[in-house]
Structure 1
Amino acid sequence: MTLAALATGTGAGFAATAGPSAAPVAAPVATHAFDTAPAAAAAPARTFQGALPAPTGPYAAGEDVIHLTDTSRPDPWVPSSGPRQLAVTMVYPAVPGTGTPAPYMSLGEATGIVQRQNLPASSGITPQTIAGVTTHAFDGARPQPGKYPLVVLSPAYEDPRVTLTALATDLASHGYVVALVGDTYEDSGETLADGQTTPCAICGDPSRIDSIPTNRARDVSFLIDQLTHGNTAWRLAHLIDKHEIGMAGHSIGGAAASAAMVADPRVRAGVNMDGAFKPVPTPGQINRPFLMLGSPDNHPAGGGDTTWGQAWDALGGYKKWLTVAGADHFSFSDLDLLHEQAGFPAPPLSPARGVEITREYVTAFFDRTLKGIDGPLLDGPSPDNPEVVFQR
């Protein structure tokens, strides 16, 4: 991950920069903002104090971290480690004023970021300040009664699951159960059930890129099985409406959302946020709703990333293709916002605005496709959101 770039990342064909969009098959390695910003700007003099925006819905956001083991298969990246293990953050509609503030991540995960990047103490970015980012989620909060659609979120390559926390808490506040899936051995660290934090086994290895979406699709199917069969994997699994499941992903996580929909018909709606499609779905594979939400450099209609046009033609259900003027690759996650708070330059689109637009359009899409709420936001351009361009 990065905290707006706390870890080296690569779009490697998954649209992290304009380079991958121009040549999605053989893309150069792209870096997260914190990888380059310290060399281009003086280190912040103040201590880094990160804070994500508060949720906008009527509910609070409760949070639990669960650990799952898929005994049916070895870990795809480190088979010697044994069966595939996952750390998953469950975020759910909660009663305001209950629970205790949840950390952004474990101290071990935050330490992994600092060690991987060799961040200087003068930056103010320490394991403690990263872990202490204000999330507006509450551990052990009392759940709201009822059943809610499940939305699975998948982060960018080399980014821990927490980089989609702002989106997760907002979805929960609007009546969704959200599963943030940690991709073991794919990022700077996920703390597993034994308390150990895994290192990254495949970071910077472009030969592994094309295998990631398919492996994440397997993780998602396993997760859905665990959450919808027997209610034993998570204490609040009864909150989930197992007939209404969606998935959204950022960068390579967007490719994973497409792959999961191809592999598992239980995933009824998908969102790709600024990621190339690898593999590109073929006609007939996805006849369910899909939203493509991207940056203007990487993903306009007719742009350099030809996988978006190919996917658009193949998608058979309700679909929308939007870009956001001024956005960069990390406008759709927590990263630009935290990067700005650490004192480094921001993209043309305000990072806070990037988070706001992402939340509004992803929520509106799932409201329409999983809840049957047909709001006007996805019908066409809005004067309240002039940055959002309807490509198709």
Structure 2
Amino acid sequence: MRIENSPLERKNREYRYILIGLILFFGILVFKQARPYLSGFLGASALYVLLERQMVFLCEKWKFGKGFAATLIVLETLLFFLSPLTGIAFLVIDTLSGVTIDPQKIIHNVTQFAQMVEDNIGFKIFTPENLSFLPQIGTNVVQVLGSSVYSLVINGIVIIFVLYYMLLNYQTFGNTIKEILPFKEENKQILAEETKSIIQANAIGVPLLAIIQGFFAYGGYMFFGVSNALLYAILTAFATILPIVGTTIVWLPLGIAAIIGGDLVGGLGIIAYGFFVISTVDNVIRFILQKKLADIHPLITVFGVLIGVPMFGFWGVIFGPLLLSLFILFFNMYRYEYIPYSTAEPRVTTRHKTRKIIPGYKGFKKKK
């Protein structure tokens, strides 16, 4: 017969709490020191989710050694993902560093445009004092981009090493994570599916959308005679990650700058092209990718990016929406499991239907 609250049971409970306290203590110390490299660890985790099946295929289908297979996949990541991304960032920095800014010309052109607007509306909006910030914009942008590229390179190195060892231990890594999750098997499966869908939607969808936007923007900028069209096309591609404003933050100032510079037709053409072509392509491609990868609510993406970019830099585009999605997922799981008659589904995306484990069967069935 079991004796409740026996001395041995109390002692075991005390040891358990002490062990949990030690784990939390050392975990906080490690997290504090590793905070600058957190984006690298999260980036490696995202790539692991995307590349795990390749590792399984190489090791279990083609019988490659784990070390050789992991090396091949890391080289693939370096060649097709990290190197192009870093190269584009360096191109942007190099081009911006070579741009000469004439403060007097900027202020003169903006003042002329402001004078024309003020003459039409009848009162003053701009003064030389509140236009004095304009010459500083270029320098500040270069400094911010330089810092971002440095962080991107450092965390890229972290990604390579962490991803290699994750892949090397692919047989135990996933099982270890599932083992410590305090959920039943159905919810563990749901969590794995949702996490993979969200990462795929952001890690594949965002770069693909950026590339398509960049091509369309480059064609338009070349047609309307924008100098440094390639640079602005790359900036437009990067601007796709910005919530709400998106690519407008690039093509609208370009159009206004052309109008201020005296090219009324070119400036209006850039604005019209940005509004009717670039923005339309953005909306259409986003809709298609959402349906193909994961149908995530737009508000999750918008607020996820707003939360993630300040926390993780570039990787915040992926992990901001992921963190927000996981929060909503756990909230829905709680409602689904513990609130009677709740209509909540333990999902965030709509790619997968709710499923239930059948004893003795490896598949799932829809929950009734």
TM-score, L = length of structure 2: 0.27
Higher relative CO (Cα under 8 Å, sequence separation at least 6) belongs to 1
Task: State the structure with more CA Rg.
Answer: 2
Q: Which has the higher strand share?
A: 1
Q: Which has the higher helix share?
A: 2
